[in-house]
Each structure stands twice: as structure tokens, then as C-alpha cells.
Amino acid sequence: MSNLDIWLTIIFLGIGTFLLRFSFIGLVGDRKLPAWMTRHLRYVPVAVMPGLIAPLIVWPQATGGEIDPARLIAAATALLIGSIFRSVLGAIFGGMATLYLMLYLLG
Amino acid sequence: MGADMSRTRGVFWQGVRAGSPFLLVIAPFGLLFGVVATEAGFSLIQTMAMTALVIAGAAQFASVQLLVDGAPVFVAILTGLAVNLRMVMYSASLTPHLGKALTWQKVLMSYFMVDQSYGISIEKYERSPEMPLDEKVAYFFGVISTIAPFWYGFSLIGGLAGSAIPPEYALDFAIPITFIAIVAPSLRSLPHLAAAVVSVIVSLALSWMPYNLWLMVAAVLAMITGAQVEKWLEARK
């Protein structure tokens, strides 16, 4: 990851994200998105984010790609707290606290 | 004119009040992004440039993680944009309410279109659609004027603190935990759950593919899964 890589990512992600936000309100105008499109767009975050992190949870870089019980238990705790209590912050704090506890207990 | 000003000012403050509870979410996220980006090797200027230009936490985390993984730049950009595709939906749903605003207002409102400003504003507009345009605009700016400064400010604090945090704190795991936390509350809906499961299974199965291409394949298949399950559930009703 070079300095140039970082700047290119910042600039193009910034411009692209602005254009996504400006798309209808500034360019297309008052037209409805077709139903099939909203039906797919609705699932984009939940389609991208779990896939992005799954390998990081199962094969973490910090352990050189070895399965790490502490990280698996922390991830499971965050998942449970987030889905049962619907609390984003509770899941983050609970997950990280579990990770520290497990790293301490399991060494 | 004077009466108009005080009327829109009142609505602006309503927006400020509606946005303020969300500071409890925005501040820790901003802080975490500052820390994570700095730990990943971003300079303070780069961290703040990303926070200011993109203002979209999940996409920023996703791109940073991919750069750390050594993914090519175009993959980091495309994945961040994919996470932000939902903004197109927000833009389309705000247009009936804000489409006739002045161009500079629409440019600014687009820049500040985030989950919270969209969610809070659209809820208000749909509850009182008869609101005049200038009040709708004032309300949006009220909401964002509480949220945006905290996003920038806490990213800055995180960026300043980040380099002082030792590796024992296992911050490599902050992004995975954060993404679990963002996604988990939606998993009680069957289509969301199905999409997430497909995303995880496909990405693990295809993780041998180069250039993080597995992520694109997993995302497309998961998105189609979510849409199909939703359609199937509707047909059963």
C-alpha cells in the first residue's frame, strides 16, 4: 500500500460517493427507481460486508492465518449482541471486550 | 423575509434536536475510524481527507481494510463504492421532497447525505409532506449540523491517538467487529440473513481467487439471494 494508492482511493471514492448521492436529487430528477433495482440495492451492504470480513475472522493476519479461538468467540459474541439487542454500539464494545478477555485467558 | 427566517430557523433547530441522539453512534465510529486508519498506515492528513471527502464510515472501513490486505487500488475503490450504492436509493427517495431546492443546496445536501441525515429527514418529510421546501431544506441542514462536526472531530481525535495505541489492543479486529455490529441488527429479516450467509460461504470458498475478486462474486450472489428471498416471501403472502 503506497502513498499514491491511499490518495487515489480517497479521491476516487470521494468523487464516486458524491455522484451516487447526487444522482437522483441533482441529475435524474423526480423519477422512481424500478422495483427490481431497489429490491437488489437494499441488500448491497449485507452482501458486501460479511464477505469482506469472513476470511479476516476465520484466518486472521495477526495470527499468521491460523484459526484463533479468541477472535472466533469475540466475533460470535458481537453477532449475538447485535442481533438479539439490535445494538450496534453494544455489539462493538461487547465484541472487543470479549476479545481482550479471551486473549488474556487463552494467552 | 424576517418571518420566513425565524420560521425556518425554528425548523432548523428541530433538526438539530432530532439529530443529536445519534452523536452517541457517530462519535465512537469517528474515533474508531481515526484509530484504524492511522494504525493501517494513513497519515493524519490522509485520514482526515478520507473522512471529509467520503463521509461514509462503512465504505471507509472497507477500503482501508482492502488496502491493508494488499488489494489493488481499483478493488478498494469499487468495494467502497459498492457499500455506498445504497446512497442512490436515498437520493431517489429524497428527490420528491428536495428536488426543487437551489442547486448549491442540492450539492451540499448530497455531500452530507449519510444514513442518519437521510433516515431522520425522510421520516419527518413523510410524516408531514405539506412542509414547505425551505423548511425541509432547513431541517436537513439542522440534522447534519449536529452530526458532521462530531464525525470530523472524533476522527481527528482517533487519528491523533491511533499511533499511540500498542498492538496488544488487537485493533486488527476492530473492522471485523464493527462490520458484524453494523450488519447484525438486520439479520432478523430472512432475506438479509440469507444474503449474509451466502456472502460468508462464497467468500470463504473462493478466497483463493486473486485481487480480492472473491468479494465481488460473493457480493453479487448474496445480493441476488436477498432479492430472490424477498420476492419469494412476498409471493407467499
Q: What is the pLDDT of residue B164?
A: 82
**Which domain range does residue B97 map to?**
2-169
User: What's the ipTM?
Assistant: 0.91
- CB atoms < 10 A from the CB of B89, how many? 19
One-letter amino acid for residue A64 of the chain: G
- The reply to whether B45 and B139 lie within a common domain is yes
Copy the grid coordinates of residue A24: 437522483
What's this model's pTM, rounded to 2 decimal places?
0.86
A105 contact B CB<8A: no
Q: Would you say residue B181 lies in a domain?
A: no
Question: Which residue ranges in chain A fall short of pLDDT 50?
Answer: none
- The reply to whether B52 and B21 lie within a common domain is yes
Which three-class secondary structure string do you get for A23-53?
Answer: HHHHHHCCCCCCHHHHHHHCCHHHHHHHHHH
Q: Choose among A8, A46, A5: nearest CA to B69.
A: A5
- The reply to whether B193 and B165 lie within a common domain is no
Q: What is the pLDDT of residue A45?
A: 87
Q: What is the pLDDT of residue A63?
A: 84
- The reply to whether B212 and B98 lie within a common domain is no
Residues 6+ apart with CB under 8 A from A72: A57, A58
- The reply to whether B154 and B89 lie within a common domain is yes
Confirm if B16 and B146 have CB atoms less than 8 A apart.
Answer: yes
Q: Considering just the CA atoms, what is the radius of gyration of chain A in Å?
A: 19
- CB atoms < 10 A from the CB of B133, how many? 14
Copy the grid coordinates of residue B217: 462474486
- The reply to whether B226 and B143 lie within a common domain is no
Cα distances (angstroms) measured from residue A8 to each of A48, A58, B120: 21, 30, 32
A86 contact B CB<8A: yes
- Over the stretch A70-94, which tens digit does the pLDDT of each residue have? 999 999 999 999 999 998 889 999 9
Q: What is the pLDDT of residue B5?
A: 80
Q: What is the pLDDT of residue B133?
A: 95
Residue of A nearest to B171 (CA): A96
Q: Would you say residue B184 lies in a domain?
A: no
Q: What is the pLDDT of residue B197?
A: 98
A97 contact B CB<8A: no
- Over the stretch B63-82, which tens digit does the pLDDT of each residue have? 999 999 889 999 999 999 99
- The reply to whether B137 and B82 lie within a common domain is yes
B214 contact A CB<8A: yes
- CB atoms < 10 A from the CB of B45, how many? 11
- The reply to whether B164 and B197 lie within a common domain is no
Copy the grid coordinates of residue B112: 452530507
Cα distances (angstroms) measured from residue B179 to each of A89, A107, B236: 11, 25, 32
Name the domain count of chain B. Answer: 2
- The reply to whether B130 and B205 lie within a common domain is no
Q: What is the DSSP letter of A107?
A: -
Inter-chain residue contact A22 with B65, CB threshold 8 Å? no
Question: Which residue ranges in chain B fall short of pLDDT 70?
Answer: 1-2
Q: Choose among A99, A100, A80, A73: nearest CA to B181.
A: A80
- The reply to whether B50 and B146 lie within a common domain is yes
- The reply to whether B200 and B163 lie within a common domain is no
Inter-chain residue contact B199 with A46, CB threshold 8 Å? yes
- The reply to whether B138 and B232 lie within a common domain is no
Which B positions 127-186 lie with beta carbon below 8 A of chain A? Answer: 169-170, 172-186
Residue-wise burial string across B208-232, b where 16 or more C-beta atoms lie within 10 A, e elsewhere: eeeebebbbebbbbbbebbbbbbee
Q: What is the pLDDT of residue B2?
A: 64
